[in-house]
């Protein structure tokens, strides 16, 4: 069970967030620690709303294989759906979801969790796994707590 890993990661992310000087530093810390501790998190990254085009998500720090999806319209893909609907989305089998924007042939499942600051969605954490049905409600709760830490950091800076 990853419960102990979830708790340890959250503790370390919370501590780092108190010391981080930039959002990018915090995001880089998160995208390194999570996949190193949770091996089924094969691609971990941030997409943030473009300040100049709030209908477009822009790739931020990530860990994993490069992706061609560096800009995703809010009305496209699972990433867009999570932001547009302001809800976390878990897809157990990406092949069965017509919204999925294929990044890697190895990706089998995905979870996308919105980040909120000042009462609005500002971005998201996106995780892909090479395993079918990799993500549970516990993963969602864990990532929602990570997203809340990022949102709180953004509100302070």
Q: Give the C-alpha distances (Å, rounded to integers) separating 132 from 52, 140, 144.
A: 36, 16, 21
> Which pLDDT value is given to residue 2?
87
* Run of H or E residues at 28: helix 23-37
Q: Going by C-beta distance under 8 Å and a sequence separation of 6 or more, which residues neighbour residue 13?
A: 26, 29, 30, 33, 146, 149
7-31 residue pLDDT tens:
999 999 999 999 999 999 999 999 9
| 3-19 helix and 23-37 helix, angle to the nearest 10 degrees | 160
| 137-156 helix and 3-19 helix, angle to the nearest 10 degrees | 10
pLDDT band for position 152 (cuts 50, 70, 90): very high
Q: What is the pTM of this model?
A: 0.96
10 lies in which domain range?
3-156
Which has the higher per-residue pLDDT, 1 or 96? 96
122-145 residue pLDDT tens:
999 999 999 999 999 999 999 999
pLDDT value at 105 more than 90: no
pLDDT band for position 1 (cuts 50, 70, 90): low
pLDDT value at 33 more than 90: yes
Closest CA to 25 of 60, 68, 50, 58: 60
Closest CA to 47 of 155, 125, 128, 111: 125
47-102 residue pLDDT tens:
999 999 999 999 999 999 999 999 999 999 999 999 999 999 999 999 999 898 87
pLDDT band for position 118 (cuts 50, 70, 90): very high
> Which pLDDT value is given to residue 73?
96
> Which pLDDT value is given to residue 79?
95
Dist. CA 109–CA 41, nearest whole Å = 10
Q: Give the chain's domain count.
A: 1
Q: What is the CATH number of the domain that holds 90?
A: 3.30.450.40
Report yes or no: 82 and 110 within 8 Å, Cβ to Cβ.
no
């Amino acid at each position: 069970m990853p419960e102990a890993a979830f708790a340890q990661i959250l503790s370390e992310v919370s501590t780092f967030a108190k010391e981080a000087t930039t959002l990018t530093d915090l995001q880089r810390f998160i995208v390194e620690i999570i996949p190193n501790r949770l091996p089924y998190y094969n691609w971990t990254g941030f997409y943030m709303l473009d300040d100049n085009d709030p209908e477009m998500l822009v790739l931020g720090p990530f860990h994993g294989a490069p992706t061609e999806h560096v800009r995703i319209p809010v009305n496209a893909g699972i990433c867009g759906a999570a932001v547009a609907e302001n809800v976390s989305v878990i897809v157990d089998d990406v092949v069965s979801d017509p919204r999925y924007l294929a990044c890697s042939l190895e990706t089998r499942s995905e979870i996308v969790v919105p980040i909120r600051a000042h009462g609005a969605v500002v971005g998201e954490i996106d995780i892909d796994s090479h395993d079918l049905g990799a993500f549970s409600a516990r993963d969602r709760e864990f990532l929602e707590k990570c997203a809340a830490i990022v949102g709180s950091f953004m509100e302070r800076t």
